[in-house]
Amino acid sequence: VLTGPVSSQNFAFLQGLKTDTEYNVDSLSVGYKLFSKAFPGVEGMTYNYDGLLPHYGLLAEEFKSSVNILASTATDENQPFIVSNKIGLGEVITINSYVLGGKIYRGIIFSSIIKGLQGVPYQVANVSTIFLDDFPAPLYNQKLPPIDEEYDVTHAEFVSKIWWQDMQAFADTFNIDYSAMTAFNYNANVVPPFDFQEWRQGSIIYNQNIVQGSIFLANDVKNTRHELAFHGYNHFSLWEQDWDNINFMISSLQAARKRWRVDNLGKLPTNYVPP
C-alpha cells in the first residue's frame, strides 16, 4: 500500500502508471467517493467537507486503463483517489493523495492496508447500527427535569413527538438502522406476578385519540426498517445475581413474551442487550 503517489519511474510499474507518464497532478479535487465493496458498509458514500485541501494526486490519464479505481475524489468522479493495480497474484494499492494527515482519511488508510493483507479479517465498527437504550419504555404523563425546563412538555410528549421524530430524521439523513431496546418496566419486581402497569400507563394523543404511548411507539418502530429488540421485562439483567430464583426469571421472560404478542409487536425479538 502506497500512502501517496510516487513520482519516480522506479515505482511507475507498481502503481500502474503508463510508461510515458509525465506525472501531471490534479490541483482541484478534494474529498473522496467509495466505489468498491472492498470497504464494507460504505460503498457509494461520499466524504466532502468544507476546508478540505486538494489532493494533488496524479491525473487519471497517467494511469493504465487496466487499473481498478476503488474510490474517486468527491468533486470529480473521473479523478482516482484509490487505485488498485493487480500484479500476478499480488496487488498494489495507491492512495492518490498528498493530504492524508486529516482525521477524515485515517479510516480509509487503515481499510486500504487491511485490504492488501490476504486472509486478514476486516474489522467493522458497530456504527451502522445504533442501539437505542431503554426505548420503547414506560412513558410518564408528567413534566420531568430537564425536559420541563427546555420544552415545557410531559415526558410522554417529549419522547413521542420530539425525540423519536428527531431520531428518525437523523437515521434517514445518515442511512442508519436502529436496534430499539424494549424495556417493559422500571420496577424492581423479581418475584411473580409480573404485571405491565408502567408499560401501559403512559398515554399520548394521536390523530385526536388518546392511545397507550409505549405500545404505540413500539408498533411504530416495528413498522419501520428499524429493529425492535429486547432489553428485559424490567431493568434487571438475566443473571442469577439479580434473580434469587431462576424460575422467576424465566417467568418474567414468559410474561414479556405474552405481552409482546398481546401488543402485536411482530416477530419475537432475536436481539437481547442486558441492562
Domain 9-115, CATH homologous superfamily name and number: Class I glutamine amidotransferase (GATase) domain (3.40.50.880)
Grid cell digits, residue 164: 423519536
Cα distances (angstroms) measured from residue 269 to each of 25, 181, 222:
54, 10, 11
- Predicted confidence at residue 105, as pLDDT, reads 87
CA–CA separation, 64 and 24 (whole Å) = 14
Grid cell digits, residue 86: 493487480
- Predicted confidence at residue 37, as pLDDT, reads 65
- Predicted confidence at residue 41, as pLDDT, reads 65
- Predicted confidence at residue 121, as pLDDT, reads 66
Calculate mean pLDDT across residues 80-89.
Answer: 94
Task: Decide: 66 and 17 in contact? Cβ < 8 Å.
Answer: no
**SS3 (DSSP) at 81:** strand
Query: pLDDT of 159-216, one tens digit each?
Result: 999 999 999 999 998 888 999 999 999 999 999 999 999 999 999 999 999 999 999 9
What global pTM score does this model have? 0.59
- Predicted confidence at residue 122, as pLDDT, reads 61
Query: pLDDT of 229-250, one tens digit each?
Result: 999 999 999 999 999 899 999 9
Q: Which of 171, 191, 97, 67 is nearest to 127 (CA)?
A: 171
Calculate mean pLDDT across residues 138-142.
Answer: 97
Cα distances (angstroms) measured from residue 150 to each of 145, 146, 164, 204:
9, 7, 17, 19
> Residues of the chain with pLDDT > 90: what percent?
79
Q: Given pLDDT bands bounded at 50, 70 and 90, which one contains residue 57? A: very high
Query: pLDDT of 99-139, one tens digit each?
Result: 988 888 888 888 888 777 777 666 555 556 789 999 999 99
**SS3 (DSSP) at 95:** strand
Q: Which residues contact 208 (CB under 8 A, 6 or more apart)?
A: none
Query: pLDDT of 10-43, one tens digit each?
Result: 999 999 999 999 999 999 999 999 987 666 667 7
Grid cell digits, residue 52: 478540505
pLDDT at residue 143 greater than cutoff 80? yes
Q: What is the DSSP letter of 51?
A: T
Q: Which of 258, 218, 252 is nearest to 235 (CA)?
A: 252
- Which H or E run contains 257? helix 246-262
Task: Decide: 104 and 53 in contact? Cβ < 8 Å.
Answer: no
Domain residue extents for the chain? 9-115, 129-262
- Predicted confidence at residue 44, as pLDDT, reads 81
Q: Which residues contact 105 (CB under 8 A, 6 or more apart)?
A: 97, 99
Pairing of strands 32-34, 46-47: antiparallel
